[in-house]
Structure 1
Amino acid sequence: MVAIKAHEADRALARLDPACRLVLIYGPDAGLVSERAAALARANVDDAGDAFQLVRMSGDDIASDPLKLVDEANTIGLFGGRRAIRVSPTSKPLLAAVEPLLATPSKDAIIIVEAGDLQKSNPLRTACERARTALAVPCYGDAARDLGTIIDEMVRNAGKSIDRVTRDHLAGLLGGDRQTSRREIEKLLLYAGTETTLAVEHVDAVVGDTAQREQAMLIDAVFSGRLPALDLAQAKLAGEGLDPGVMLGAVLRHTLALLKARQGMDAGRSARDMVAAMRLPYPRIAATEAALSSWTSAKLMEAVNLLGNATLAARRDGDLGKAGATRVLWTLARLGRAATRGDQP
């Protein structure tokens, strides 16, 4: 079948071609992969609680013995009826188990294979995209529109309401993993108790952490070269008593994540795919993609070295560490400004 785009996934699954007997659901959003696999399995059996109708199989076990999946797919249900087989994610190759079912599809069962982030050249993904009886469904982190829909649905089902400002504020704190976002919304609804209207104060009380948000603001300011925003974020964090070593450590971790993503881009991956794998809150996605486009691997390695030395110095001497932290962050921000402008710093 023709490969589908991420935004087409829900529609394709809702209107699944009866000839499609194997569905590969993959992507960096493990929560969304699991959610879609579960929904598809429920839609294709009469009783999801019946272990004979909905069969769960380990991806690791199937990789070790590919015939297990073929045997299960060709098993006739004891009491008839529709059957679904869910295969859990594995880092081991599954192509040997799937290929026979692409050539000779199961007449009795639909096979749902869950997987992580697969590159375009991955043999399993390629085989499913080319097969006439299979469908490959990508799952990337939720965009703001998707998060808004999820928030509205869950709030409405709980008998509560939320205004647009509060909803947008909440969406900005949620990450790119569907299940994690749902847990955060459930926690918020529980905290609100009998109150029927959710407010920004409810969100700030239970979703995310103020210091973490200010650290994120500082990090994005560094890599985009926005010096006023960096100054403000650093002042707020210092006012809250955050240790300079902790502050630098947060920037260092993000730098290492950027370096890994940039190296993936150097190997041919897209910025969008690499950022999706980082599972960042939606408002940070654009800033991170911009940083990956302007910062080279060499510059990020330089940043890692500067931050590593400054972090060690901050841990050895707290007073000197404050000055050192400010110096290295401003140095990197100037590099970030030059990189954004395309200048030679």
Structure 2
Amino acid sequence: MVAIKAHEAERTLARLDPAWRLVLIYGPDAGLVSERASALGRSSVDDPNDAFQLIRMDGDVVAADPLRLVDEANTIGLFGGRRAIRVSPTSKPLQAAVEPLLATPSQDALVIVEAGDLQRTNPLRTACERARTALAVPCYGDAARDLGTIIDEMVRGAAKSIDRNTRDHLAGLLGGDRQTSRREIEKLLLYVGSEPAILAEHVEAVVGDTAQREQAMLVDAVFAGKLPVLDLAQAKLSSEGLDPSVMLGAVLRQALALLKARQAIDAGRGVRDVVGTMRLPYPRIATTEAALNTWSSAKLNDAVGLLGNAILATRQSADMGRAIATRALWTLARVGRTNRAD
């Protein structure tokens, strides 16, 4: 079996075993998946700009016609040299295209398959992990250490400096998606302009707290019953590697805060008066008032119980975590669509 841990990915890809003729790069961090696939493709050919050496194939097309990948992998280049085939992500099954190459690996081309967050039981993942000639590479959201490295590299590349405290603060504001983090840093460098150092005030002025903003969007969508917004926020947070139990925890904290506020309103205080004591960011004041006007204490008590059980279930069954979280959030959002305060 050739399956590696997430922290081993960079080192393993830098010294790729020639016996591995197919590399599956997968995970919730789509930006990191793309970045690693791109780097591996470039390093596996003599001229990355030559379309005959570095071939791009659409995952949907490959899934519809599996033999196209097999044919391309077994095609001998007209001008010799190393070849690499990079298959883009698809939601459709690719086993039919990949399994022949696992049984009879291409001797001429390295096949790089990009994929999303594959569960342990996913047929494509398990097939690649079991094959001796394939490598499965997981890509999860960047840890603070990884973000620090990215920040240092990009700041040095721009011929600027950043002190440790400012760097740590910046890393804390970035989300788990590699491409999103790079865009935020690029935006910051553009804002700094010709100044030699990145300062804390630059970071505060430019870089939004991506993860917290997206969590707030998810939380507010649940209690407002906005299912499309909930789907969008959950997909974004999942792509950044946020654990389902963390999402549920954010909603649970809001449910508890709303319950406490709702009980104060039931005791005779006004909604605006209660919300004014919650020290909320301005954009969330209106959504919180609306939630308090549509959720009763009884319904919020039910929500707290449902979320507590869902969090426990995700911790007991990590493989089912996303499905459990989705079901709980959708259940509450449906209540939010029709709920009215008693």
TM-score scaled by length of structure 1 = 0.71
Q: Is the 8 A contact 2:215 2:250 kept in 1?
A: no
1:54-93 matched pairs, under 5 angstroms? 54-93=54-93
CA displacement, residues 198-255 of structure 1 (integer Å, 9 cap, x when unaligned): 1121111111169949958x9867635886xx99996432667831358849xx9xx9
| Cα offset, 1:173, TM superposition | 1.5
Counterpart check, 1:35 vs 2:32? no
**1:60 counterpart SS class:** helix
The reply to whether residue 265 of structure 1 matches residue 314 of structure 2 is yes
Deviation at 1:305, TM superposition (A): 6.5
Q: What one-letter code is carried by the residue in structure 1 that aligns with 2:193? A: G
Q: 1:296 to 1:51 in 2, by over 3 A?
A: closer
List aligned pairs for 1:182-221, cutoff 5 A. Answer: 182-208=182-208, 212=213, 215=216
RMSD over aligned Cα atoms: 4.0
Q: Secondary structure at the match of 1:119?
A: coil
* Matched letter for residue 223 of structure 1: L
The 1:233–1:24 alpha-carbon spacing in structure 2 relative to 1, beyond 3 Å, is: farther
| Matching of residue 237 in structure 1 with residue 280 in structure 2 | yes
Hey, what does 2:175 align to over in structure 1? 175
Check whether the contact 1:31–1:180 (CA below 8 A) recurs between aligned residues.
yes
Q: Which segment drifts farther, 175-184 or 238-247?
A: 238-247
Is the CA contact 1:173–1:207 (under 8 Å) kept in the aligned structure 2? yes
Shift in alpha-carbon separation, 1:239–1:50, aligned structure 2, 3 A: closer
TM-score (norm 2): 0.71
The number of residue pairs the alignment matches comes to: 287
Indicate conservation of the 8 Å contact 2:28/2:140, yes or no: yes
| Counterpart residue identity of residue 203, structure 1 | V
Q: 1:170: Cα distance to partner?
A: 1.2
CA distance in 2, matches of 1:50, 1:159: 31
Percent identity (aligned): 67
**Using a 3 Å threshold, how does the CA distance of structure 1 residues 70 and 215 change in structure 2: closer, same or farther?**
closer
Whole-Å separation in 2 of the counterparts to 1:308 and 1:91: 30
User: Which residue does the alignment assign to 1:282?
Assistant: none
Cross-structure match for 2:150: 150
**Counterpart residue type for residue 169 of structure 1:** H
Amino acid at match of 2:252: F
Equivalent position amino acid for 1:243 in 2: A
1:162 and 1:11 mapped to 2: Cα distance?
A: 27
Q: Cα deviations across residues 299-338 of structure 1 (Å, max 9, x unaligned)?
A: x67855675567x66xxxxxxxxxx9xxxxxxxxxxxxxx
Deviation for aligned residue 1:110? 0.2
Match of 1:22 in 2: 22
Q: Following TM superposition, by how much is the alpha carbon of 1:262 offset from its aligned partner in structure 2, in angstroms? A: 5.5
Compared with structure 1, are the counterparts of its residues 74 and 155 closer, same or farther at alpha carbon in structure 2 (3 Å cutoff)? same
CA contact 1:57–1:86 (8 Å) conserved in 2: yes
Q: CA 1:83–1:222 in structure 2 vs 1: closer, same or farther (change >3 Å)?
A: closer
Structure 2, unpaired ranges of 5+: 221-248, 262-273, 293-299
1:214 and 1:232 mapped to 2: Cα distance?
20
- Structure-1 residue corresponding to 2:239: none
Alpha-carbon spacing, 1:2–1:243, altered in 2? closer, same or farther (3 Å): same
TM-superposition CA deviations, 1:175-212 (whole Å, max 9, x none):
11100110010000000001111112111111116994
* Alpha-carbon distance in structure 1 between the residues aligned to 2:113 and 2:326: 36
CA gap 1:6/1:264 in 2 versus in 1, 3 angstroms: farther
Q: How does 1:129-144 map to 2 (within 5 A)?
A: 129-144=129-144
Quote the offset at 1:10 in angstroms: 0.8
Q: Summarize the Cα distance change of 1:238–1:78 in structure 2 as closer, same or farther, 3 Å threshold.
A: closer
Residue type of the partner of 1:101?
A: L
Could you say which residue in structure 2 is the equivalent of 1:223?
252
Spell out, residue by residue over 1:92-118, the C-alpha distance to the aligned partner (whole angstroms, 9 max, x if none). Answer: 111111111111111110000000111
Distance 2:134 2:215 in 1: 45
CA distance in 2, matches of 1:125, 1:156: 37
Kindly provide the amino acid, as one letter, of the partner of residue 280 in structure 2: L
Structure 2 SS opposite 1:78: coil
Do the aligned residues in 2 keep the contact of 1:5 with 1:138 (CA within 8 Å)? yes
Report the CA distance shift for 1:212/1:125 in structure 2 as closer, same or farther (over 3 A): closer
Provide the C-alpha distance between the structure 2 equivalents of 1:188 and 1:178, rounded to a whole number of angstroms.
15
Instruction: Determine helix, strand or coil for the equivalent of 2:280.
Output: helix
